[in-house]
């Protein structure tokens, strides 16, 4: 029998929530408040992160920073800083859909604008405007205007926020009419020869303009694997500026050939270039300039002599893995060019194989003259 005076030990149970009429227990009120606090903090961090990101983008883009009132405003209010990153991302996607500047390869990085022409760019992309800016940023013109001769970056502007379009540069040409006595300034260019056929085929019409090259833009990427310097004619080393012709179609074909080599088991990390653009003056002074040689595609900017040089030693690599450098290595590149032309007949042109000599280890000529030529 239990002693009525014995001490009873009490065990405190954890508080229980209220129950529904069905008997299911509800969460304690304190527990629900805890989750609410966590969610509120997360929202505050999200807004704060967005404000900080906008300010950083403004500083990195070297554009005026929004005023304190706008920074502290409700991000959903009418006067708040626009969600520029979202607008820019959408604009970049629309720009890619609008223009084919990147070519079939997707690796071309320049738009070449002839004298008096405007870039093949839309006026606006929704709420985002397009502008062209000189590399120094001192000059900015609307994207739908005719830019002065020079190199131009493409900018997207949403309100006060600005972002440069990656991997796209506009090359505005110097009119060929500026040539005097075969020169522009001190740079010797010469004159383009007359074609044998009458009327002259369109592919042999002299260019309407030239791209100005300076020491500051020599290394401008015109495509993934090629630079502006690859089109500069040899000689006149101390004369600046220089002038070249660059064909985006040629760049597209070259990049498609490199992609074909990579896909077929011949990796290409680095290329060597023998010759890109040649001035008529330089072309007349070397090689066989009789007959078709006088109309070399190099003078029209749509030809390049090149080779694969992954190890950077200035020589053709052993592409077929037979332990020697010979014409068979160049044939690997030629075969890739044949496959590219079959798939892309709009890029048909010349493919020429040059065997190794004492001056070089062999190379391949590629052009986009518009009809098939082989040698």
pLDDT of residue 101: 87
pLDDT of residue 281: 96
Residue 154 has pLDDT above 60, yes or no: yes
176 vs 17: which has the higher pLDDT: 176
pLDDT of residue 42: 65
42 vs 287: which has the higher pLDDT: 42
Residue 315 has pLDDT above 90, yes or no: yes
- Per-residue pLDDT band for 12 (boundaries 50, 70, 90) equals very low
Q: Give CA–CA dist 233/247, Å, rounded.
A: 15
Residue 152 has pLDDT above 90, yes or no: yes
pLDDT of residue 50: 60
Residue 78 has pLDDT above 50, yes or no: no
Mean pLDDT over 323-331 rounds to 97
pLDDT of residue 198: 61
**How large a percentage of the chain has pLDDT more than 90?**
63
| Residues 127 and 158: beta-carbon distance below 8 Å | yes
| Residues 271 and 127: beta-carbon distance below 8 Å | no
C-alpha dihedral sign at 297, 298, 299, 302: positive
Mean pLDDT over 293-298 rounds to 85
Mean pLDDT over 166-185 rounds to 97
Residues forming a β-bridge with 112: 171
CB-facing half-sphere around the CA of 316: CA atoms within 13 A = 30
Question: What are the domain boundaries of the chain?
Answer: 44-64+78-98+116-172, 173-374
pLDDT of residue 4: 45
pLDDT of residue 238: 97
- Per-residue pLDDT band for 52 (boundaries 50, 70, 90) equals low
Residue 3 has pLDDT above 50, yes or no: no
- Both structure tokens of 313: 């030693």
DSSP assignment of 338-353 equals HHHHHH-GGG--EEEE
- Per-residue pLDDT band for 5 (boundaries 50, 70, 90) equals very low
| Residues 317 and 308: beta-carbon distance below 8 Å | yes
DSSP assignment of 107-145 equals -B-EEEE-TT---S--SEETTEEEEEE-TTSS-EEETTS
Burial of 114 by CB count in 10 Å (0-12 exposed, 13-18 middle, 19+ buried)? middle
Q: Report the candidate in 128, 123, 210, 133 with the shortest Cα–Cα distance to residue 173.
A: 210
Give me Rg for the CA atoms of the chain: 32
pLDDT digits (tens, 9 = 90+) for 82-111: 557 778 888 888 888 777 889 999 999 999
Residue 236 has pLDDT above 70, yes or no: yes
Total-model pTM: 0.77
Question: DSSP character for 292?
Answer: G
| Residues 374 and 354: beta-carbon distance below 8 Å | no
**How large a percentage of the chain has pLDDT more than 70?**
74
* Mean confidence (pLDDT) of the chain: 83
pLDDT of residue 69: 38
Burial of 4 by CB count in 10 Å (0-12 exposed, 13-18 middle, 19+ buried)? exposed
Element (H, E) at 337: helix 327-343
Mean pLDDT over 318-322 rounds to 96
- Within 10 angstroms of residue 17's Cβ, the number of other Cβ atoms is 13
């Amino acid at each position: 029998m239990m002693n009525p005076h014995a001490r009873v030990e009490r065990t405190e149970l954890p508080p229980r929530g209220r129950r529904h009429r069905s008997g299911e227990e509800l969460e304690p009120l304190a527990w629900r408040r805890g989750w609410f606090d966590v969610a509120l903090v997360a929202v505050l961090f999200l807004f704060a992160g967005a404000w900080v990101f906008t300010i950083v983008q403004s500083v990195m883009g070297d554009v005026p920073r929004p005023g304190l009132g706008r920074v502290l405003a409700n991000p959903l209010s009418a006067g708040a800083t626009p969600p520029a990153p979202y607008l820019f991302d959408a604009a970049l996607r629309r720009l890619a859909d609008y223009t084919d500047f990147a070519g079939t390869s997707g690796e071309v990085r320049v738009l070449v604008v002839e004298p008096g022409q405007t870039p093949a760019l839309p006026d606006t992309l929704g709420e985002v405007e397009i502008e062209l800016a000189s590399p120094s940023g001192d000059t900015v013109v609307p994207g739908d205007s005719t830019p002065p001769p020079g190199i131009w970056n493409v900018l997207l502007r949403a309100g006060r926020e600005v972002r440069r379009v990656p991997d796209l540069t506009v090359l505005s040409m110097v009119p060929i009419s500026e040539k005097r006595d075969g020169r522009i300034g001190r740079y010797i260019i010469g004159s383009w020869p007359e074609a044998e056929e009458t009327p002259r085929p369109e592919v042999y019409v002299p260019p309407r303009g030239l791209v100005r090259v300076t020491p500051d833009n020599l290394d401008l990427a015109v495509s993934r694997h090629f630079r502006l310097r690859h089109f500069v004619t040899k000689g006149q080393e101390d004369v600046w500026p220089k002038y070249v012709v660059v064909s985006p179609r040629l760049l597209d074909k070259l990049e498609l050939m490199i992609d074909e080599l990579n896909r077929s088991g011949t990796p290409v990390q680095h290329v060597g270039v023998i010759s890109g653009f040649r001035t008529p003056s330089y072309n007349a002074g070397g090689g066989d300039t009789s007959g078709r040689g006088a109309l070399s595609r190099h003078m029209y900017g749509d030809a390049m002599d090149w080779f694969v040089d992954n190890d950077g030693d200035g020589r053709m690599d052993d592409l077929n893995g037979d332990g020697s450098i010979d014409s068979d290595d160049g044939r690997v590149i030629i075969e890739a060019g044949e496959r590219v032309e079959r798939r892309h007949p709009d890029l048909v042109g010349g493919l020429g194989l040059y065997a190794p000599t004492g001056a070089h280890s062999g190379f391949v000529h590629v052009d986009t003259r518009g009809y098939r030529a082989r040698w």
